[in-house]
Structure 1
Amino acid sequence: MNNTKVTGKLLLLFCAVCFQFCFSQVNSQYDELRKKYENFEENDSKAFPYIRPYIIKAKKEKNYEKLVQGYKDGIFFSFLDEEKLKYADSMVWAANLSHDKDLLIIAHIDKGVIYYYNYKKFQLALNEYLEAYEYSKSTKNAFLKYQNLYHIGVVKSYLGYYDEAADLFRACLAFYRGKLKTDLHPNEIYNYKKGYLNSLHQLIICYRHLGKYNEMDAAIEKGLSEAGDNRDFAQEKGYFLLSKGISEYNERQYEKALSDLNRSLPAIRNSRDFARLSVNYFFIGKTYLGMNDAKKSVVYFKKIDSIFNKHQFILPELRENYELLINYSKKNKDQTQQLYYTGQLLKADSIMSRDFSYLSPKIHKDYDTKTLLEEKNKLQKMNYLVTVIIILLIIWAIGLIMLFTKKQKKAKEIKQKYILLEEKFVKEQTEVQVPHNSIEEKRPNLHESKVGELLRKLQTFENKKGFTQKGLTISKLASQLGTNSSYLSQVINEHKGGNFNKYLSQLRINYITTILFEDKKYLKYNIETLARECGIASRQNFSDLFYEINGIRPTDFIKKRMQEIESNGN
């Protein structure tokens, strides 16, 4: 018997050793394939004769971890943006087949980076990051969690949520800084250092837009010190030099600004980050303008126009670029260029209004849309017959009148709905609430005392605001109340005026409406916060339910409520 046990243990040990040997052999084969191309430069398509056999092997063996790595390499070495996106799609596909949440996080982050970095499609990028975020909730890989939070922060920053983005970047900095103090493999040190420097750069951008210049300058010096002259961090050093040049420009230290801005250019050009390159050109142009060299400044402003034409993208802070070019054309009496740049500014406004709709009030500074259209019409009078211009002006005027009428009508409807809602609120506050404990005309299979007891429990649930629990289902509520889902559903349907979802939605929206009426501090919260406050996970779902129950969108309600408080002098 003892000999049999020993033999069995030896057999298991032998199998384990064989498995480990085979596994290491398989990994070794993949490693050998990658060694043939891993030292190529980024975007170097010469790597693909070696990448393709790697992908074919992984696909044939259904080794999804290696397949994801192969597609990730395809993204890195592809030169064309559309090729990068194609490999990103394949990466997500392979990760889905693996059912490995960490691989899914990596795949969605990488696809989001392509949308953001190469295409500047912010909504699509954010969708990918949020998808990765869902998977990251259960991962033990902290690096992936913070990598994803960093990218969400980047999108928030570009959309103008600088305070929220800064909080995310500070959290990332704390994480990366903590990791860099531990014993790590050289590759891990590189990844964490890269994450640290990029988070610091993004925090600097937030500080600049928030007007926190002392914090910004301190962070710039920290970044330059940390990046040093290490070639691995040349791109990050370029970003820090750009930020330093902008700071020096704002302080009117034009010679220093010009030096640092030009020093940053090579690294930013090599990174293919056309958005940051545009910012660099803009501040070089502004610096020359500060030095009273308008001709040199216009050279750089025109470079930004070339980038805009190629990528159909411009940052809101660069809108002034076209205002400066329009003014320059006016001064030089070049009506053709003035008309062209006016058209470009209108196009830029249209793109920014689409991608950054909430920023619309901020971007209409010296040239609002109406002024631009009038200016454009004046310039066009020199090139068109008078009769054609009159027709265009009439159509334009009719359009404005229709738009104005539509806005007025909508404002009137919102006002009426708000008044009705306010009257409803006042009425509910003054009426004596009668508990829904009536059990007449109910189904005979529900015992009256049990119904009464359950209704009392529901009343307690309502009084204690239990409906604000996130993710509350009828099963969870039934468990909390000591009953079953079917019985609870029947009671709610018969005594609460609808099914469970309608009952829960009514409680949540009534609750948030009440606190918006009673506590004006909640009027300062954004829609996402209000949704969370009453237990609704989705901003869109909250907005739809608020409208369905109250007949007015939450944003319109808040606006009217704030106007009412202001007019009452509170």
Structure 2
Amino acid sequence: MKCFIKNRMVLLFLLPIIGLGQTQKKDYTKLSYDELKALYWNNEKDQTKQLEYARAYLVKANRENIPIRKARANYQFAFLYYKTDANKAIMYLDSVIKYSQNTGDKFFPAAAYCEKADFLIKNFKFKEALINYNLAEKIALKTNIDYYYIVREYIGTTKSENLGDFKEALDIYKECYQYYKSKDVTSSKYVTYYQSIIFGLADCYKSLHNKDSTTYYNKLGYRESHITKNEENKYLFVLNEGANQVEGKNYKVGLDSINKALPKMIEYNNVGNVLAGYFYLGKAYEGLGRKGKAAENYIKVDSIYKLTKEISTEFIDGYSYLITYYKNLGDKENQLKYITTYMTIDSTLQKNYRELNKLVHKEYDIPRLMADKEKLIASLNTDKRATYWGLGVLFLTTIVVGGFGVYQYQLKKKYRSRFEKIIKETAIISDNETEVSKEKEIKIAGTKIEAIGIAEELVNQILGKLDDFENKKGYLESNITVQMLSTTFETNSKYVSKIVNVYKGKTFTQYINDLRIEYAVVQLQENKMLKKYTIQALALEFGFNNAESFSAAFYKKTGIKPTYFIKELDNVV
């Protein structure tokens, strides 16, 4: 077997050279190594060109028989396969290690060992990953002391985030922190690593429930990020401090910090910390006894998990909450859904994380969940039997309708036409048009002031407050009622209702729902992250209590379902 692998590796090393002779139009081997390297990294969006330059680099290195150049050529190939073929990438990294051993290079083979460790971690092979990190740090200690501390941070991160060894990770972070303190930590060479170490310290202390130390390093990280104008890092420390306050049961303080940081995490498309933000929002609302808001945010965590299939033990407690929440509501379907998801995560993590049993079985043990799951399935099956005859009749009726296919075709055309109309109308809306529209409303309704029996001055006051309400997006508050709004306006609910009827031309409920849907249409086009949410999560995002009411309001306003609208947005260039 070893001989076969060796031959296969030799063959793969020859393939780039063979391909070069077949496809290369220009002899790039006449260029210098630095020129080839620059061409390679300047064409990251064109892998065909990168492959061509990597081949030329390897041909030149083999011809001149320079080991470190061979190593760098193989690293370029490894990078090309980083996302598509882990095994092939590791094979090239092994060649990097082979050719760069004992060369005294500042980065190789240490960097290659680190890259291998990264692949191994993705496959939950933590022991092998740490072996590779240890090999990297031994080499870096002799050849590049700066890189040695980068490797040390990698080890600390693995121990903290993957293995739950927070105390060991903390000792490593402290060691790195002391090293960077002797450097110019505002320089481009050290700033990223220094701020990352500060975050590691804060996060470890948070996991060890040392609230004061967590706050100290979050504040330090915030200051350093502010000085170096790194906005994403700055709000990352704000988010982490919010989580720290939530863990310390200072829920309102935690909410304030998280609500400041979460929009920035969404803006920077920092998916992992968007998930963290929603989780700690859920935990804060849970602590405040606001059950619906807690469930709303835990559902968003689940939405992100379903898209990425990545979640750590830190964020799985939301599922136990959702299971209990829907059990108390008597919602068997959702209770079963979250039990199933929870058990799937448990099954994956139980195989790979040492600390899992301590974390997962804190509130629910799996045998009991399995029993609950079976009972729920049996109960739901019993409920469904009662509807089988009705479904049968419905099925037969569907078969009988001969024009069903034609109807579906026409409906699809109608939906597409409506979608295009929405996009077009959204594109041409401007502030000027909005003002003209409002003037038109006032002009039309002006003749009706006497008819509704409300003084003109009071009408104008309420209309002004409605404008302010719309501008501040007050309609996104769930469960808003005409009575609540009237109290805020310090007026009579009948006045508000009448004025909305006359000046907006609709009922109060329709007025609120239309504002939410208009806002949703714009946000779904502008914020790509929202398209990844479930309909339930979107409903909560835009002020509705459930997916059904959101879908119904969306359809009533636009003539199409939100699922269709989101799907068609992906086809808009």
SS of match in other structure, 1:190: coil
CA distance in 2, matches of 1:98, 1:70: 11
Distance 1:227 1:88, change over 3 A: farther
AA aligned to 2:111 is I
Q: Which residue of 2 aligns with 1:130?
A: 134
Distance 1:263 1:306, change over 3 A: closer
CA distance in 1, matches of 2:153, 2:379: 52
Q: Which residue of 1 aligns with 2:201?
A: 203
AA aligned to 1:104 is P
Give 5+ residue unaligned stretches, structure 2: 1-28, 383-573
Q: Which residue of 1 aligns with 2:216?
A: 218
CA distance in 1, matches of 2:83, 2:297: 25
Q: Which residue of 2 aligns with 1:285?
A: 282
List per-residue Cα deviations over 1:291-314 (Å, max 9, x = no partner): 665445434323332443455443
Distance 1:331 1:384, change over 3 A: closer
1:323–1:367 CA contact under 8 A, matched in 2? yes
CA distance in 2, matches of 1:244, 1:192: 24
Aligned mate of 2:115, from 106, 110, 113:
110
Distance 1:53 1:95, change over 3 A: farther
CA distance in 1, matches of 2:197, 2:40: 29
List per-residue Cα deviations over 1:227-261 (Å, max 9, x = no partner): 22746x45533432321221243422154133233
SS of match in other structure, 1:46: coil
2:218–2:237 CA contact under 8 A, matched in 1? yes
CA distance in 2, matches of 1:192, 1:310: 34
1:335–1:379 CA contact under 8 A, matched in 2? yes
Q: Which residue of 2 aligns with 1:31?
A: 34
Aligned mate of 2:168, from 160, 164, 167:
164
1:287–1:297 CA contact under 8 A, matched in 2? yes
1:220 shift after superposition = 0.6
Q: Which residue of 1 aligns with 2:515?
A: none
2:199–2:237 CA contact under 8 A, matched in 1? yes
CA distance in 1, matches of 2:78, 2:228: 25
Aligned mate of 2:99, from 70, 89, 97:
97
Q: Which residue of 2 aligns with 1:152?
A: 155
CA distance in 2, matches of 1:303, 1:121: 30
Q: Which residue of 2 aligns with 1:528?
A: none
Asked if 1:302 corresponds to 2:299, the answer is yes
Query: Mean alpha-carbon deviation: is it higher for 374-383 or for 329-338?
Result: 374-383
1:54–1:70 CA contact under 8 A, matched in 2? no
Q: Which residue of 2 aligns with 1:320?
A: 317
Q: CA RMSD in A?
A: 3.5
AA aligned to 2:92 is S
1:281–1:303 CA contact under 8 A, matched in 2? yes
Query: Mean alpha-carbon deviation: is it higher for 128-137 or for 336-345?
Result: 128-137
Asked if 1:352 corresponds to 2:355, the answer is no
List per-residue Cα deviations over 1:27-68 (Å, max 9, x = no partner): 98333344446467xxxx515344323311221122554555
AA aligned to 1:151 is Y
CA distance in 2, matches of 1:371, 1:342: 11
What is the count of residue pairs matched by the alignment? 345
Q: Which residue of 1 aligns with 2:260?
A: 260
Q: Which residue of 2 aligns with 1:543?
A: none
Distance 1:261 1:331, change over 3 A: farther
AA aligned to 1:353 is Q
AA aligned to 1:365 is K
CA distance in 2, matches of 1:145, 1:335: 54
CA distance in 1, matches of 2:261, 2:80: 29
AA aligned to 2:159 is K
SS of match in other structure, 1:81: coil
SS of match in other structure, 2:379: coil
Distance 1:288 1:198, change over 3 A: same
AA aligned to 1:150 is E
AA aligned to 1:336 is E
List per-residue Cα deviations over 1:366-393 (Å, max 9, x = no partner): 11223212212321222568xxxxxxxx
1:254–1:291 CA contact under 8 A, matched in 2? no
2:58–2:74 CA contact under 8 A, matched in 1? no
List per-residue Cα deviations over 1:452-503 (Å, max 9, x = no partner): xxxxxxxxxxxxxxxxxxxxxxxxxxxxxxxxxxxxxxxxxxxxxxxxxxxx
User: What is the correspondence of 1:545-556 to structure 2 with a 5 Å cutoff?
Assistant: none
CA distance in 1, matches of 2:268, 2:205: 21
1:220–1:244 CA contact under 8 A, matched in 2? yes
CA distance in 1, matches of 2:83, 2:240: 27
1:313–1:348 CA contact under 8 A, matched in 2? no
Q: Give me the identity figure in percent.
A: 23
SS of match in other structure, 2:152: helix
AA aligned to 2:56 is K
Aligned mate of 1:338, from 332, 335, 339:
335
Aligned mate of 1:239, from 220, 225, 236:
236
Query: Mean alpha-carbon deviation: is it higher for 291-300 or for 89-98?
Result: 291-300
1:105–1:132 CA contact under 8 A, matched in 2? yes
AA aligned to 1:196 is Y
1:222 shift after superposition = 0.8
2:68–2:99 CA contact under 8 A, matched in 1? no
Q: Which residue of 1 aligns with 2:514?
A: none
User: Taking structure 1 as the reference length, what is the TM-score of the superposition?
Assistant: 0.53
AA aligned to 1:200 is I
AA aligned to 1:165 is A
User: What is the correspondence of 1:162-561 to structure 2 with a 5 Å cutoff?
Assistant: 162-180=166-184, 189-228=187-226, 230=228, 233-249=230-246, 250=248, 251-252=250-251, 253-266=253-266, 269-270=269-270, 274=272, 276-290=273-287, 294-383=291-380
AA aligned to 2:166 is Y
Q: Which residue of 2 aligns with 1:46?
A: 45
AA aligned to 1:166 is L
1:51–1:70 CA contact under 8 A, matched in 2? no
AA aligned to 1:375 is D
Higher relative contact order (CA 8 A, sep 6+): 2
1:197 shift after superposition = 1.3
List per-residue Cα deviations over 1:171-193 (Å, max 9, x = no partner): 01111222327xxxx9xx42422
CA distance in 1, matches of 2:120, 2:264: 25
1:268–1:277 CA contact under 8 A, matched in 2? no
Give 5+ residue unaligned stretches, structure 1: 1-25, 386-570
CA distance in 1, matches of 2:147, 2:317: 38
1:241–1:263 CA contact under 8 A, matched in 2? no
1:73 shift after superposition = 5.9
Asked if 1:61 corresponds to 2:60, the answer is yes
AA aligned to 2:53 is Y
1:282–1:301 CA contact under 8 A, matched in 2? yes
2:184–2:190 CA contact under 8 A, matched in 1? yes
Aligned mate of 1:140, from 128, 139, 143:
143
AA aligned to 2:98 is N
Distance 1:269 1:294, change over 3 A: farther
